[in-house]
Amino acid sequence: MSAAATALPSVPAQITRNDLSPPRSRSVRLTSDLKTANKIIASIKAANHPIGLELQNAIVAEALRKKIRHRERCRVNQARYRKRQLKAEADVQNGIARLRNEIEHLQSRCNDLSGVPTSRTAWGVTGDYIRHFNYFSAHPGPRYDGASKFLREIMAPDVVDGSSSGGDTQIETWRRFALYFGDVHVELRGMKMPSDVTLVASTITTVTITRNTLRYAFPHLNSDGDAGTQGGDWSPIASRILGQRLVVHGSVLFGWDNTSNKV
């Protein structure tokens, strides 16, 4: 093979070859390549041993070829990076869309809770009661009306709870419980019916002692005897129990009216 056939492209050809980029980008790259070529030529001329023009062109052309190849690799890598970025953005958007759908689904299910109980049997109403109570305790404000409607649906007007009677007293009991304690949760562990009009639900109730607990349930633990409203100090016992998690095993007795299918 002849020397002419294996010769490297000339410097101008090496600089302008296969450059299909936009004019502005092409101008910037041409300026950079010319600076590189001039710098190499200046270094060659400063060498102690003279180098012929043809060899100078070959050295410059080879240096430019390496630079252009490196630049092309960078361009490809940048394109791959942009592609990965676009894919990541698309994945995020798809994830957001899925989360929105899940939120809408969960909101729909939560809204359904305020409707008619899933079953008008003692067993079904008891499960619904615990479920509604837990949801109300977590969101007492927004769920007040829904919880009131639910309790009116399942309870007779003359229902008795301790020393209180009437369906409206139940929602007040729920409200106070959610106000007095934090992180309230009741777990239904089992149910049994000693008779056809009585159901006993075994429960585990978990609550956190908060400042509201001290203020409303244990005001006497403050030196002023009035939950600190008079500027008193809380006792060491109050400081120790604040923030503690309590777990209480208990049971709830439901009286059942088979005629109205209500508590």
Averaged pLDDT for residues 58-77: 79
| Residue-wise pLDDT tens digits, 166-187 | 667 888 899 999 999 999 999 9
The fold adopted by the segment(s) 119-255 is: Nuclear Transport Factor 2; Chain: A, (3.10.450)
Short-list 65, 79, 81, CA closest to 18: 65
| Residue-wise pLDDT tens digits, 83-94 | 888 888 888 888
Predicted pLDDT of residue 102: 80
pLDDT band at 252 (very low <50, low <70, confident <90, very high): very high
Domain boundaries, the chain: 3-92, 119-255
- Rounded to the nearest integer, the mean pLDDT of the chain is 79
| Residue-wise pLDDT tens digits, 4-62 | 444 445 555 555 554 545 555 666 666 776 777 777 767 766 666 676 677 767 777 77
Predicted pLDDT of residue 144: 87
What pTM was estimated for this model as a whole? 0.55
Is residue 156 within 8 Å of residue 257, measured between CB atoms?
Answer: yes
